[in-house]
Amino acid sequence: MNEKLLQKLSKLNVCVVSHIFASGPALDLEEFLKKKTKRLLFIGHPFPYREDRKSFYRLYKTGNLVKEHKAINWKLAEVFFYIKDALYTLLWVGTQKEKVDLYIGSDNFTAYLGLLLKKWGKVKKVVLYTIDYMENRFQNHVMNYLYHYFDESCLKECSIVWNVSPAIQEARLRTTSKQKRWTKQIVVPLGMWHKRIPKRTFGEKNRHQLVFLGHILEKQGLDVVLEGLPRVVEKFPKARLVILGTGPHEELLKEKAKKLKIEKYVDFRGYIVDHRLAENILAESMIGVAMYKPDPSSFTYHADPAKLKNYLSARLPIVLTDVPPISIELARQKCAVIAKYDREDFAKKTIKLLRNEKTLKDYEKNADRFAAKFDWDTVFTEALKKTVITF
């Protein structure tokens, strides 16, 4: 790692604020920073659909966890959840004895709170870390207006903006005409702990195991995967689909598996608390699936999905749609095969991959080589070099 950056970070008080589900880049940023900064305050606000909805913070000093606190497990309507998150953030940052040198908010709402704290003299510099972006984020017009108001405020007043994909800046250009006043935006792609994720040889893998990792939403396209699975099983009777994660669409998928009479071929593992266990399951699989639904309202059109990087690091060839911006590059690098959002094409592309051992091995090597560029150590080092240069 860059020695000058390490010296710089070791003198900084940093705060990271994020909404969280299970895993995510903000938690990886916490892992990266906690032993490199003078002081790190990490504030997490679980999404309202989680069972455990307690907002929390963790305070580190010179690499050691010195304090951890959890709030009440509130049951509130979505709009009140955001108010609750704002109050806790303002309270927990505002009552710190030392001023925050660098505040990183992982969405425009949490970054906007950082700007308020800056005006109150509690924060020096604010970074907006844009994980996803949608032109119509909320159906509620007032909520959607506030979403874009917070975003434009951050574009004007933050010290720098991190976008996980260049498509995010392009989408912003379509929604505002005030870009001349914007602060600098840089691409900070999602990564993974490439050195940590286990690597299995071809012979050590489950030859016909497909795997999905992520939040189970309709937009993830698992309906198409289940509908195409009978044809895959017809050609490969030992084929199995392992689903790692949970979400609002899970029960509907279980019902669909029953109707299709493929329950014994689908293994719903649920939410895996230990992400390393999930990584082991990825490593023992043969193909990762990411059949994103082509929905214009989906933020995946502008995002850099984390699951793809985890698949690549586990040396998994991927079958996916062309919804995420990175899909074309993955296909060009021969790490992935693009399928239409259609059960027949999904089955066709999956069968073709499973039939060809040489292709699978070639794609494994390509995936590993491509993934190495996105280790979190590399990604965050480059982002912070461009961010703390003004300190």
| pLDDT-based confidence at residue 336 (cuts at 50, 70, 90) | very high
pLDDT digits (tens, 9 = 90+) for 130-153: 998 877 777 778 888 888 899 999
Average pLDDT over residues 40-56: 86
Closest by CA to 135, choosing from 301, 252, 314, is 301
Provide the CATH topology of domain 202-373: Rossmann fold (3.40.50)
Q: Is the pLDDT of residue 296 over 80?
A: no
pLDDT digits (tens, 9 = 90+) for 92-138: 999 999 999 999 999 999 999 999 999 999 999 999 999 988 777 77
Between 352 and 246, name the one with better pLDDT: 352
Contact 43, 57 (CB under 8 A): yes
Give the lowest-confidence range in 27-31, 54-58, 139-143, 173-177. 173-177
The domain limits of the chain are 3-191+375-390, 202-373
Identify residue 306 by its one-letter amino acid code.
A
DSSP calls for 49-117: TSS----EEEEEETTEEEEEEE-------HHHHHHHHHHHHHHHHHT-SSPEEEEEESSHHHHHHHHHH
Alpha helices per DSSP H over 126-177: 141-157, 166-175
Provide the CATH topology of domain 3-191+375-390: Rossmann fold (3.40.50)
Rounded mean pLDDT of the chain? 91
Contacts of residues 348-353 at CB distance under 8 Å and 24 or more positions apart, as own/partner, are 349/319, 350/210, 350/228, 350/232, 350/287, 350/289, 350/319, 351/231, 351/232, 351/235, 351/236, 353/287, 353/317, 353/319
Are 3-191+375-390 and 202-373 the same fold in CATH? yes
